[in-house]
Chain A
Amino acid sequence: MIEARPAPHIRHQENTRTVMLDAVLVLLIVYAMTYFYHGPRALVLGAWSVAVSVATDILCTLIAFKRPNIRDFSAVVTGMLLPLMMPASIPYSVVAAAAVVAVAVAKHPFGGVGHNVFNPAATGFCFAAICFGSALFEYPEPLPADKLPVFLGDAQVLLGVSPAFTLELGGVPKFGLVDMALGSFPGPMGTTNILVVLACLLYLVFRNTVRWEMPVAFFATVSLFAYCFPRADVSRLESVALELMSGMLLFGGVFLLGDPVTTPKRDLSKVAFGVASGVVVMLFRRFGNLEEGMPFAVLLMNATVWGFDMLGEHVYSVIRRRRSEVFKDQKVQKKA
């Protein structure tokens, strides 16, 4: 019996839901590490952010007279990403404001899932950085004697200086590379877990959720830049390691730049985009005022994705045309 159904008729195994579920899975692992370093407050912050994101998502969908679909998990991913880029001592109101802006300003006005021009999580973070800069860049020490209480109130929090801030001032971070790789240093609570984030990248690449071309091009460019122009008085290789492990460069390279919606489609465009993003991020780090320039650089690069897409299409069309000309010549020669 023939059954008539609307298009699309050919469905890929991967869809928005599976891609988002992959992201949720790896982010849960990052949250497990943040629980280890900062206690239950990290998990509560994540849950609160997800709740606000999903509620805003449903509200915006209803305002647009559409049926809410929380099963695509896009709002959950945005909600999970946001607190990971902030310190564990961040007030709940800041996280809520960032989540509302991420969903209501960066996602829905552009058409919702799959149509947003700017990365919602990066937009939410940038908004919070502009509005609450002082609260956003005060990082508590990891593994404190007393874990952070869920509700801070008047509790005193032991703050530390992040390596990104030290590098910004031209100093050398006091933390060893092993400590930094394990994530035992002050910083945004999800981005300090270097090894875990790298493992997440590997998982996402093997699952084909993130294409390998862009992270490789991005990290290679950043490394080259750090090797050529070290910011601190250390050896060039140490400079590369410090740049890669400080701040949210690694986290942003995996989760913000790896967002399939806000990146070019073609492989060649992805490589060019990765290289350009690396240069822009390092310029932000070198000449910017904020210690975390990564999300701002991501937003700037998001605005240029159409250019990279056009460039990729142009290059591929030239290649196709030349191939067809060569093929025609071969045919003519055979006939002759």
Chain B
Amino acid sequence: MKFSRIKKYRKKHSLLSALLIRNPVLVMGLDLPFVIAGAVSLKNAAAMSIQMLMIHMVTMLAGMLTCRALPYWLRVLVNTCVSTGMMMAARALVVPLFPGVTNSLGMYLYLMAVNGMTVLLSSSIDKRAKLWPVITGALGNVAGFSLVAFLIALLREYMGSGTIWGVAVPVPLKLDGLLIPFFGFILTGFLLAGARFLNKRLLAFVMLEAARKDTRYTRIVVDSVETLEHFAPPPVKDTTKKPREEP
């Protein structure tokens, strides 16, 4: 089975892939606490995104350097030190930009130094990895995190506080409960369901296009595609006779 078309499609849409198909928050479950507890206003989301951009990009580059020279256990320590340093620098930038963010984000502002996405991904960079894919991948991860944070923050700020970017707007029904972390979980769950639905549809669309263009696959009915394995050819039976084992 040729998946060249899908690979080509994915390569072309690497950003879309980071936002939907391999979103670090929705698909991999990384950095959930920041989204659930921190993303209660758009300013918080912006501050977290800027901080994440600085921490993640620099730590990934550091991870790329350390993966060739250091063992795994030391790599994790060095990368964490780098991310902590970047957190301090990012904090110095973010706090003057958004003065109230220290109070509203609290410890989550500092916990970003050891956020799961940066620590996990920077420590697991392959030795053969090239610079450009690492940079684009890190940018995609930050974009995926920011997308989820902004979407959830927008809904929670509008419905929970009746404001958008701190400006009061008319809201039909103010729901304070949306600001508590429990509903952060619920909203993330709904977003995850939406992302899964979009992924399925996207994959179905790609497969349908592949089937249309390639006459060999016209018989494939791409109605409800779930996984790529769905289309994998059946395993070939091993017809060769094995010699009997002697007792």
B233 CB → nearest A CB, Å: 28
B173 within 8 A of A: yes
Please judge, given known A-B contacts A105-B186, A109-B189, A109-B193, whether A130 and B173 are in contact too, CB under 8 Å: no
Partner of A97, one of B175, B186, B189, B193: B175
B177 within 8 A of A: yes
Give Cα A263 to B219, complex, Å: 48
Determine whether the beta carbon of A127 is less than 8 Å from that of B189. no
A62 within 8 A of B: no
A131 within 8 A of B: yes
Which residues of chain B from 168 to 222 have any CB-CB distance to chain A below 8 Å in the complex? 172-178, 180, 186, 189-190, 193
A156 within 8 A of B: no
Chain B: how many interface residues by the 8 Å CB criterion? 12
* Contacts A93-B172, A109-B193, A130-B180 supplied; 7 other A-B pairs, CB < 8 Å: A97-B173, A109-B189, A109-B190, A127-B175, A130-B177, A131-B174, A131-B175
Determine whether the beta carbon of B177 is less than 8 Å from that of A127. yes
Supply 18 A–B pairs (Cβ within 8 Å), ascending by A. A93-B172, A93-B173, A97-B173, A97-B175, A105-B186, A109-B189, A109-B190, A109-B193, A127-B175, A127-B177, A130-B176, A130-B177, A130-B180, A131-B174, A131-B175, A131-B176, A131-B177, A131-B178
A303 CB → nearest B CB, Å: 12
Give Cα A222 to B228, complex, Å: 55
Interface string of A21-41 (1 = CB under 8 A from B): 000000000000000000000
Give Cα A127 to B176, complex, Å: 9
Give Cα A43 to B29, complex, Å: 45
Give Cα A93 to B173, complex, Å: 7
Give Cα A97 to B173, complex, Å: 9
B152 CB → nearest A CB, Å: 15
A103 CB → nearest B CB, Å: 13
Interface residues of B (CB under 8 A from A): 172-178, 180, 186, 189-190, 193
Residues of B contacting A127 in the complex (Cβ-Cβ under 8 angstroms): 175, 177
Residues of B contacting A93 in the complex (Cβ-Cβ under 8 angstroms): 172-173
B2 CB → nearest A CB, Å: 30
Residues of A contacting B189 in the complex (Cβ-Cβ under 8 angstroms): 109
Interface string of A125-166 (1 = CB under 8 A from B): 001001100000000000000000000000000000000000
Give Cα A130 to B174, complex, Å: 12
A119 CB → nearest B CB, Å: 16
Give Cα A110 to B189, complex, Å: 11
Q: Which of A93, A97, A130, A131 has the most CB of B within 10 A?
A: A131
Residues of A contacting B174 in the complex (Cβ-Cβ under 8 angstroms): 131
Q: Using CB atoms, name the residue of chain A closest to B173.
A: A93
Q: Using CB atoms, name the residue of chain B closest to A109.
A: B189
Per CB-CB distance, the 9 closest pairs between chain A and chain B, nearest first, are: A130-B177, A131-B177, A131-B175, A131-B176, A93-B173, A127-B177, A105-B186, A97-B173, A109-B189
Residues of A contacting B177 in the complex (Cβ-Cβ under 8 angstroms): 127, 130-131
Give Cα A130 to B186, complex, Å: 15
B15 CB → nearest A CB, Å: 27
B215 CB → nearest A CB, Å: 30
Give Cα A172 to B183, complex, Å: 37
Give Cα A40 to B193, complex, Å: 41
Give Cα A97 to B177, complex, Å: 11
Residues of A contacting B186 in the complex (Cβ-Cβ under 8 angstroms): 105
Residues of B contacting A109 in the complex (Cβ-Cβ under 8 angstroms): 189-190, 193
A165 CB → nearest B CB, Å: 21
Which residues of chain A from 89 to 130 have any CB-CB distance to chain B below 8 Å in the complex? 93, 97, 105, 109, 127, 130
Give Cα A130 to B172, complex, Å: 17
B238 CB → nearest A CB, Å: 35
B194 CB → nearest A CB, Å: 10
Residues of B contacting A97 in the complex (Cβ-Cβ under 8 angstroms): 173, 175
B198 CB → nearest A CB, Å: 13
Q: Which of B172, B173, B177, B178 has the most CB of A within 10 A?
A: B177
B191 CB → nearest A CB, Å: 12
Q: Using CB atoms, name the residue of chain A closest to B197.
A: A63
Q: Using CB atoms, name the residue of chain A closest to B189.
A: A109
B151 CB → nearest A CB, Å: 17
Q: Which of A93, A97, A109, A127 has the most CB of B within 10 A?
A: A127
Give Cα A222 to B176, complex, Å: 32
Q: Using CB atoms, name the residue of chain A closest to B190.
A: A109
Q: Using CB atoms, name the residue of chain A closest to B187.
A: A105
